[in-house]
Structure 1
């Protein structure tokens, strides 16, 4: 697997893992200036570990939906260009703001990913849309935020089956969500994020 510029493999306590260069955020192991990107705590990290073709090259502009406390988006900001991090809940945003202190092109936004009109005046066109939101209607969120993607941009989404329907079989949920996504995106690749995340599907797509 070819990794994007700014992501390397390093040894941490006898185990080789993905790493980005930046200040620690969530107590992750470090190797000098490099810090472990834990795929068990990051859906995008899991997509990379599983060899999915994310199309990341290390210099893209990113809109990250569902940034939470900054675990994954801080790694993204370590290697990417301007990174807009949308988070709805005030409590994790405080930790996200702390992660952004050492990253001058990480821009936290206290906004709702289901209402992109509230941040459309701030976010420039982006090369990559990363979606990791725990809400019903994940395909609709991706459709609403498609407006920010450049023509040849990429959607990297982690679909959470339990957020859509806690009673339905995950495979059925994934089938429905991907079918809805297909109205707005060309699906390039899908893969279950097992063993790192149960009942999650990684999706790589580009806007139609």
Structure 2
């Protein structure tokens, strides 16, 4: 990729005109009332941190067909898009109510595997999730977001990627977001090499997108 050229989208993600404007889109059954065009469903970056990272041109390293561990799947808004273009996608969600919606999203997606588990306790799903996954996507609104990423590093292949959305207010609602981001990044760098960071405020206020890879121990 030449300098100044935006990173390519993963195979299975396209920019298509839906509802009168160009949008990111994947092929699959709609999940959250998103606009569609035939088999294509719009991927709303204002409802998806990963969608925002792609929309803003971050180099996620996603190519399509990767094995994915998704932490903080909620009701399936983003992870359903991920499962539309990826390989096996393990979706971890702690709360029972959104997990019921996640199960509905998975009904038409044979590669999407919902897990009612706590992302802070990876030992509870280590027997299910295969080792050497290609990508960990993390969108967990909790204190200790770097710690969650560190605990789940065990699942990543050596050349895998962590795609992390840091929510400043979940770490410390009273602190300056930049200070929070600096602290989370410092903690994260004990286990990961940070490749790219970008504020996601255009779509998600006080959020930071992070692309990282595991440090070789």
- State the TM-score, normalizing by the size of structure 2: 0.95
- Displacement of 1:42 in angstroms is 0.1
- Displacement of 1:14 in angstroms is 1.3
Tell whether 2:28 aligns with 1:44.
no
1:204 is aligned to 211
2:148 is aligned to 141
- Displacement of 1:13 in angstroms is 1.7
Provide, for residues 37-81 of structure 1, a one-character-per-residue CA deviation record: whole Å limited to 9, x for no partner. Answer: 000000000000000000001010000000000000000000000
1:31-180 paired onto structure 2 within 5 Å: 31-125=37-131, 126-180=133-187
In 1, the alpha carbon distance for the partners of 2:18 and 2:28 equals: 15
Provide, for residues 62-116 of structure 1, a one-character-per-residue CA deviation record: whole Å limited to 9, x for no partner. Answer: 0000000000000000000000000000000000000000000100000000000
In 1, the alpha carbon distance for the partners of 2:85 and 2:154 equals: 24
In 2, the alpha carbon distance for the partners of 1:76 and 1:102 equals: 13
1:28 is aligned to 34
- Residue range with higher mean Cα deviation, 11-20 or 36-45: 11-20
SS at match of 2:46: coil
* Unaligned runs of at least 5 residues, structure 1: none
RMSD value, Cα: 0.4
Deviating runs (4+, > 3 A) in structure 1? none
2:18 is aligned to 12
SS at match of 1:40: helix
In 1, the alpha carbon distance for the partners of 2:105 and 2:159 equals: 29
Count of matched residue positions in the alignment of Structure 1 and Structure 2: 208
In 2, the alpha carbon distance for the partners of 1:152 and 1:96 equals: 29
- Displacement of 1:187 in angstroms is 0.2
Tell whether 2:191 aligns with 1:184.
yes
